[in-house]
């Protein structure tokens, strides 16, 4: 596949979403969990989304239960948690695998396109972040410990690209 627009994913209500829906937008794709030490990043992600949505940023959150079983709930329970605790307005998708033999095809593409530290492909923990440019090409990968605010300069740069 040549860009993420060739993939489809399932939203948290069970609907298929073609990623070409986001064509021309800068994307921040994050694997999330409700019971993780990084869970407060939901608040930072929401703030980033509110600040840059009008300029063309979309944040796509993919819950994952592969790291310490920190996302045990159903899609509905995850959405309720996010609404109650963080009042998120960015898209939340169905729970997926981001590594291993059942890796979601989108994450297989992301991890192969933008390897992590020392060329590692596998996602190591919750809240790994992938930045995708307006052409649907992955351009950067950030560790879970990277603060969301530290992504702002690169996001602004992507939003300014023609």
Q: Which residues are catalytic?
A: 36
H or E stretch at 111: helix 105-113
Question: DSSP letter at 2?
Answer: -
Nearest to 154 by CA among 40, 15, 29, 28: 28
Distance CA 41, CA 25 (A): 22
Contact 106, 95 (CB under 8 A): no
């Amino acid at each position: 596949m040549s860009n993420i627009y060739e993939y489809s994913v399932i939203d948290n209500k069970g609907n298929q979403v073609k990623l070409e829906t986001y064509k021309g937008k800068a994307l921040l794709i994050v694997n999330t969990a409700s019971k993780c030490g990084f869970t407060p990043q939901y608040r930072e992600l929401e703030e980033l989304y509110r600040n840059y949505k009008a300029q063309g940023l979309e944040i796509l959150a993919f819950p994952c239960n592969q790291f310490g079983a920190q996302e045990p709930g159903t899609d509905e329970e995850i959405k309720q948690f996010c609404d109650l605790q963080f009042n998120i307005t960015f898209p939340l998708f169905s729970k997926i695998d981001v590594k291993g033999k059942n890796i979601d095809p989108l994450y297989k593409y992301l991890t192969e396109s933008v390897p992590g530290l020392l060329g590692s492909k596998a996602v190591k923990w919750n809240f790994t972040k992938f930045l995708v440019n307006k052409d649907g090409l992955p351009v950067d990968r950030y560790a879970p410990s990277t603060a969301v605010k530290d992504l702002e300069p690169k996001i602004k740069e992507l939003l300014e690209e023609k």
